[in-house]
Structure 1
Amino acid sequence: MTTDHDTAPTLTIGEKDADLTARLDKGLGAFNEGPTGAAPQSTLSVRVDDAAGELIGGLTGWTWGGLCGIEMLWVREDSRRDGWGSRILLAAEAEARRRGCDRVSVSSFTFQAPAFYQRHGYTETGRTPGIPGGHEDVYLFKSLAAPESTG
């Protein structure tokens, strides 16, 4: 960043910029704190490795102001019928509750897993068309007010 007003600003376009991401997170987090009163968001992850230390699957997301946002949930192909997706999701929801969250949101392309989330109590709140292949991005929401029954 330059402070010399005689020098023209520089516009740079490229791949993901870790420094830029960190600075935007900090700046937007500070901005969001004012109108919401919510402290900066915290990251969340759930990871499952097999006995050989290879990744079976995991989830990344965040918690902020009572809301949990799921960014990614993935389970490797040979483990998708073993219930790991459900266990990972339920673990993330339990951690979100522990952090004081009472709701969770996620989006999933129509060719991914919207039905999986719906089976876990998520309701669709909207869609964005225009995903390659004629697909849509499905937005889902769940109240975490009461723990999910395990019976």
Structure 2
Amino acid sequence: MKQHLIEIGDKTDAEAEHVIGSGLAAFNEQIAGFNDRRPLNVLVKDPHTREILGGITGRTTLGMAFLDLFHLPDALRGSGMGTQLLRAFEDEARTRGCRSAVLYTISFQAPGFYEKNGWVRFGEVPCDPQGTHRVFMSKTL
């Protein structure tokens, strides 16, 4: 019997992401009949330098939007920019045919912000530092 090598690492590996992503896409297409996985980024940039200041990264696939990362610098928080970016993410997901969206945040980050924007908690898992937890949220689009 062939012995396979298992490798654990902490570096981004474009080849690995391509192999795994392509394999998953082929499997999904075989079962669902299509593969519509696409990145979805909503960025805020400096108007003069065009430098990325913050925003949202995520993806859409099979009728679902996944919000992966969302960050704004302190100078933009409380300005309404966060809500504007979140709405743009949700609107684009709807345009792509998504019926719902999911994300997770940490209890000391922004669960209240998301709830204010119509997201609903569906689970929590304890994490570090002690007393905090991951908050899993969804929204019907």
Assess same fold via TM > 0.5: yes
Question: Residues 38 and 110 (structure 1 numbering): CA distance in 2 closer, same or farther, change over 3 Å?
Answer: farther
Question: Residues 134 and 30 (structure 1 numbering): CA distance in 2 closer, same or farther, change over 3 Å?
Answer: farther
How big is the alpha-carbon RMSD for the aligned residues of Structure 1 and Structure 2?
1.9
Task: Give 3-state SS (helix, strand or coil) of 2:78's partner.
Answer: coil
Residue aligning to 1:148: none
Residue aligning to 2:120: 123
Residue aligning to 2:137: 140
Residue aligning to 1:27: 23
| Residues in 2 aligned to 1:38 and 1:107: alpha-carbon distance in whole angstroms | 27
* Contact 1:48/1:58 (<8 A) preserved: yes
| Residues in 2 aligned to 1:121 and 1:73: alpha-carbon distance in whole angstroms | 16
Bigger Rg, which one = 1
In the alignment, structure 1 residue 50 sits paired with structure 2 residue 22: no
Residue aligning to 1:62: 59
- What displacement does 1:122 show? 0.5
| Residues in 2 aligned to 1:127 and 1:33: alpha-carbon distance in whole angstroms | 32
| Residues in 2 aligned to 1:51 and 1:104: alpha-carbon distance in whole angstroms | 30
Residue aligning to 1:10: 5
- What displacement does 1:7 show? 7.5
| Residues in 1 aligned to 2:2 and 2:123: alpha-carbon distance in whole angstroms | 45
* Contact 1:131/1:137 (<8 A) preserved: no
Name the aligned partner's letter for residue 136 of structure 1: H
Residue aligning to 1:96: 93
Q: Which string of whole-angstrom CA distances, capped at 9 and with x for unpartnered residues, describes residues 105-143 of structure 1?
A: 111011111111100001101111123343111111111
* % identical aligned pairs: 35
Aligned residues: 139
| Residues in 2 aligned to 1:133 and 1:22: alpha-carbon distance in whole angstroms | 36
| Residues in 1 aligned to 2:45 and 2:62: alpha-carbon distance in whole angstroms | 30
Task: Give 3-state SS (helix, strand or coil) of 2:67's partner.
Answer: strand
| Residues in 2 aligned to 1:76 and 1:55: alpha-carbon distance in whole angstroms | 11
Question: Residues 128 and 37 (structure 1 numbering): CA distance in 2 closer, same or farther, change over 3 Å?
Answer: farther
Task: Give 3-state SS (helix, strand or coil) of 2:98's partner.
Answer: coil
